[in-house]
A and B are shown apart, each in its own frame.
Chain A
């Protein structure tokens, strides 16, 4: 188990810069998730930590050692690949033992470590099978087992659940989280799925276009997104963004005008800002009654009944679209109109270029 520090890490492919000045520190035993849309550089960053991609600039430390030019095998990391990358011609036992045999460990110790990892993952009965005789979930376990036997300082996971079906994904998510608690290991986990990020992470790193957008605990990101991108990326269904006009803003809050109504939001900006802003309201924070601000009337265009809750897609009086999530089963249909309310404290404001107003 070790800490990890990235200091101004850069990755270039020719003249194309895909990772720009990433700073990050990961504490011992922490579970960090890199999340972002595809092409954001999260896998590249992970592969740079693993040593599979050269680092073009900056410094990578594992523990106190600079690891920029150290071979992957000497970094004390283990990696679980999206494709699992199990050796197809070797039995599960051989797959798991491969690194240990390569390192020249004595046979009894190899045996003992493989058996111990197999017991942790409950795959003892699969040890003599070949990967092709395993289901997706079982292969996933073997891939994790192959990482565990090496007793690494840091575990790296590259979208490990994306090849599994939805049910298995949830199950493995829970198991990886449990494994993290049991092993107390430092883990870095890449995913494009914000639900995985929210549920598993101690700390989330949101990436876009090779830059870090925000680093923080899951609920910090949810409650206080640093910008409109993070606000839109974290949370499901996605946050609503409504065009509004900023009337005034000071340290006690801001007043915006939306569809002819003035709304006071307890968020402010240090710098003076005027004109167009985006009012952000999560679907689960918009309500059909009893909020302290009123957004006016919404005409329902589509209703999705999910059983436990209902999603209403509609248009405000000024034509802007809005998604509202209401608890339980709402007896509403297309063409109905409803009044929309919200709690001002749960609303967000963003400048035209996407920066968030700070909570006051």
Chain B
């Protein structure tokens, strides 16, 4: 009797487990077939010479050695990408936080403002906006027309090597919406009585910002910084559209991913492009790891 009951129970559990794995199957298929599989294959390819036509040929560390020692374009792409990341991310976060603080003042019609400010983030990553951006900052674009009103003669911002990257930085900052929403949620989390206690303690709004708001917001700042940094390292569309796939003028907008794309799909050096991709993974991975390590010194987790 008891044995039969246990057996029935086991059978029931097996059916339940089978059903569970059944539901997981589409995800597993996607993960192994479309994510992990290609990723591992690209890891293999990064040790080969492969042009899509002939079979991959094993060349050991040669791709990586070339990246490290003999690729001026790689250095240029690194330079552009790091400049972009270290400019765009802090500026974007600062801008997002400022707008979030304004919206947190208990504005009437907050949902409308929130949606309006979020809008560029929905559009900003798109090809259309990148094209629009190119037009706005071209020699006879909208930006220069505005400058002309003040008697300033502008340059072709996207066609001048010294300024092209900064127009891309600006485009990124403009997409501050998602960081702003998260900051806004973070600001809402800070109990009002912290500020009341601080105002009784005599702290000015400025001191309250630096001593209460910023420290209590550090988990959210940290999260936003990580997400935005990873995003910025992977940025591709804006430079691809604005430079029309060249990374120009004079490689001044040659994002790392754009260089990788050129190697893969313009020169069909799949092995080398795979190696570049894995270098980027390592860069992002170590950056994130270092950030998490450092976070214990500046991020305050409550309770």
Chain A contact residues, CB within 8 Å of chain B: 50-52, 71-74, 77-79, 81, 83, 85, 87-89, 98-99, 102-103, 132, 146, 150
Q: Which listed residue, B201, B216, B302, touches A132 by the CB 8 Å rule?
A: B302
List of B residues within 8 angstroms of A79 by Cβ: 196-197, 200
Are B215 and A73 interface neighbours, CB within 8 A?
Answer: no
Are A81 and B216 interface neighbours, CB within 8 A?
Answer: no
Measured CA separation A148–B201 after assembly (Å): 12
Measured CA separation A177–B19 after assembly (Å): 65
Give the contacts of B222-253 with A (CB-CB under 8 A).
none
Measured CA separation A77–B202 after assembly (Å): 11
Are B197 and A81 interface neighbours, CB within 8 A?
Answer: yes
Measured CA separation A50–B200 after assembly (Å): 8
Are B193 and A81 interface neighbours, CB within 8 A?
Answer: yes
Are B200 and A78 interface neighbours, CB within 8 A?
Answer: yes
Are A85 and B193 interface neighbours, CB within 8 A?
Answer: yes
**Residue of chain A at shortest CB distance from B207:** A102
Give the contacts of B175-205 with A (CB-CB under 8 A).
191, 193-194, 196-203
Measured CA separation A115–B44 after assembly (Å): 65
Q: Which 7 A-B pairs have the closest CB atoms?
A: A73-B202, A99-B201, A89-B300, A85-B193, A85-B197, A89-B215, A88-B302
Chain B contact residues, CB within 8 Å of chain A: 191, 193-194, 196-203, 207, 211-212, 215-216, 218, 300, 302-303
B273 to chain A, nearest CB (A): 45
- If the complex has contacts A83-B191, A83-B193, A98-B211, are A88 and B200 also in contact, measured as CB distance less than 8 A? no
Measured CA separation A87–B203 after assembly (Å): 13
Known: A81-B197, A87-B211, A88-B216. 12 other contacts (CB 8 A): A50-B200, A81-B193, A87-B212, A88-B300, A88-B302, A89-B216, A89-B218, A89-B300, A99-B201, A99-B202, A102-B207, A132-B302
Are A85 and B300 interface neighbours, CB within 8 A?
Answer: no
Measured CA separation A102–B211 after assembly (Å): 10
**Residue of chain B at shortest CB distance from A88:** B302
List of A residues within 8 angstroms of B211 by Cβ: 87, 98
Measured CA separation A74–B200 after assembly (Å): 8
Are B193 and A73 interface neighbours, CB within 8 A?
Answer: no
List of A residues within 8 angstroms of B218 by Cβ: 89
A120 to chain B, nearest CB (A): 19
A194 to chain B, nearest CB (A): 25
A148 to chain B, nearest CB (A): 13
Measured CA separation A208–B196 after assembly (Å): 25
**Residue of chain A at shortest CB distance from B197:** A85
For this complex, 16 residue pairs linking A to B, each with C-beta atoms less than 8 Å apart, are A51-B200, A52-B199, A73-B202, A77-B200, A83-B191, A85-B194, A87-B198, A87-B211, A88-B216, A89-B215, A98-B198, A99-B200, A99-B202, A102-B203, A132-B302, A146-B201
List of B residues within 8 angstroms of A146 by Cβ: 197, 201
Q: Which listed residue, B196, B199, B207, B300, touches A81 by the CB 8 Å rule?
A: B196
A149 to chain B, nearest CB (A): 10
**Residue of chain B at shortest CB distance from A82:** B193
- If the complex has contacts A98-B211, A132-B302, are A85 and B196 also in contact, measured as CB distance less than 8 A? yes
Interface centre among B196, B197, B211, B300 (most CB of A within 10 A): B197
**Residue of chain B at shortest CB distance from A103:** B202
B108 to chain A, nearest CB (A): 14
Measured CA separation A83–B194 after assembly (Å): 10
Measured CA separation A89–B203 after assembly (Å): 16
Are A52 and B196 interface neighbours, CB within 8 A?
Answer: yes
Q: Which listed residue, B194, B199, B202, B303, touches A87 by the CB 8 Å rule?
A: B194
**Residue of chain A at shortest CB distance from B193:** A85
B299 to chain A, nearest CB (A): 10
Measured CA separation A89–B302 after assembly (Å): 7
List of B residues within 8 angstroms of A103 by Cβ: 202
Are B216 and A72 interface neighbours, CB within 8 A?
Answer: no
B221 to chain A, nearest CB (A): 13
List of B residues within 8 angstroms of A50 by Cβ: 196, 200
Interface centre among B193, B200, B211, B216 (most CB of A within 10 A): B200
List of A residues within 8 angstroms of B191 by Cβ: 83, 85
B207 to chain A, nearest CB (A): 6
Are B300 and A72 interface neighbours, CB within 8 A?
Answer: no
List of B residues within 8 angstroms of A73 by Cβ: 199-203
**Residue of chain A at shortest CB distance from B300:** A89
- If the complex has contacts A81-B193, A85-B194, are A72 and B200 also in contact, measured as CB distance less than 8 A? yes
B200 to chain A, nearest CB (A): 5
A54 to chain B, nearest CB (A): 13
Are A98 and B303 interface neighbours, CB within 8 A?
Answer: no
A142 to chain B, nearest CB (A): 12
Measured CA separation A88–B203 after assembly (Å): 16
Are B303 and A132 interface neighbours, CB within 8 A?
Answer: yes
Interface centre among B196, B198, B199, B215 (most CB of A within 10 A): B196
Are A98 and B203 interface neighbours, CB within 8 A?
Answer: yes
Measured CA separation A87–B193 after assembly (Å): 10
Measured CA separation A89–B201 after assembly (Å): 16
Measured CA separation A51–B198 after assembly (Å): 12
B209 to chain A, nearest CB (A): 13
Measured CA separation A52–B300 after assembly (Å): 27
**Residue of chain B at shortest CB distance from A83:** B193
Are B201 and A71 interface neighbours, CB within 8 A?
Answer: no
A46 to chain B, nearest CB (A): 12
List of B residues within 8 angstroms of A102 by Cβ: 201-203, 207
**Residue of chain B at shortest CB distance from A52:** B196
List of B residues within 8 angstroms of A51 by Cβ: 199-200
A164 to chain B, nearest CB (A): 17
**Residue of chain B at shortest CB distance from A71:** B199
Measured CA separation A51–B195 after assembly (Å): 13
A285 to chain B, nearest CB (A): 42
**Residue of chain B at shortest CB distance from A152:** B200
List of A residues within 8 angstroms of B197 by Cβ: 79, 81, 85, 87, 146
**Residue of chain B at shortest CB distance from A78:** B200
**Residue of chain B at shortest CB distance from A86:** B197
